[in-house]
Amino acid sequence: MRPKNESPETIAYFYLFNTGEMIKIALVDDHEIFLKGLHKLLSESPEWAIVGTFSNGKSFLNALPSLEMDLLVLDIQLPDIEPEDFIRTIRNLRPKVAVLYLTMMRGTRLLHRLEKYDIQGYVLKDAPVEELRHAIRTVASGGVYFGESITDIDKGTMGNTTTTPANKLSGLLSPRECEILQLICQELSSAEIGEKLFLSTGTVDTHRRNILVKLGVNNTVGLVKFAIQNGLLNET
């Protein structure tokens, strides 16, 4: 019998010692060093077993039909598939698997778009290791965990906020993305931005897509509106 009103840690240990099975976890992240480090870190615990690591979305989706797992830990932004398309496909194939996002993306607008796919957790990559362990135990035991930095989740006000202190742009975008955002808001085209920053048009377009994803908006109009409303254009 599962213990009542116990911590996620107690429930996780209860599951392990009463079933003889470790919690099976799959990892998806496109940064090889981070992926290997995360694998090594989680493998140190007797509570769970890593059943697969994947560096892109398509390789994971190819393996998904035959992959035995209890929990999926993944980054939001992958190079070969859009975040919403990825989680939608996962839910179509494995509607019951627990999903925990581990990412550097602090924009809660994007999270608001993804929550309809029944995600169970969201933790930032700069969170303490023990917070990640606690999140995994919580989600794997049937609970929901959103990192302490995701301040608006419980209030149901994710739609128009970011979680960086005072909405600081530097905590949300890279320096290059900040430059490009400034130029987008000056109504420069990708070609004009590329010429100014000595980048190819394709590279600028990639940055534009990444900015849209990180800010959780759908188009350039939404991006500019978000930047103005949050005072981001005053950042340098």
Is the whole model's pTM more than 0.85, yes or no?
no
Residue 226, CA atoms < 13 Å, CB-side half-sphere: 27
Strand order from edge to edge, sheet including 23-28: 48-54, 23-28, 71-74, 98-103, 121-124, 145-146
3-state DSSP assignment of residue 26: strand
Neighbours of 152 (CB within 10 A): 17
Neighbours of 148 (CB within 10 A): 12
For the domain made up of 164-234, give the CATH fold: Arc Repressor Mutant, subunit A (1.10.10)
- Give the per-residue SS3 of 33-76: HHHHHHHHHHHCCCCEEEEEEECCHHHHHHHHHHCCCCEEEECC
pLDDT for the residue 209? 83
* Residue-wise pLDDT tens digits, 131-190: 999 999 999 888 999 876 664 443 344 433 333 433 445 556 788 988 898 899 888 999
d(CA 214, CA 210): 6
* Residue-wise pLDDT tens digits, 31-88: 999 999 999 999 998 888 999 999 999 999 999 999 999 999 999 888 888 888 999 9
d(CA 4, CA 2): 6
* In the chain, domain spans: 8-158, 164-234
Q: Which CATH superfamily is domain 8-158 in?
A: Response regulator (3.40.50.2300)
The structure tokens listed for 73 are: 């830990």
* Residue-wise pLDDT tens digits, 195-206: 999 999 999 998
Query: Comparing 8-158 with 164-234, is the CATH topology the same?
Result: no
- Mean pLDDT over 208-217 rounds to 78
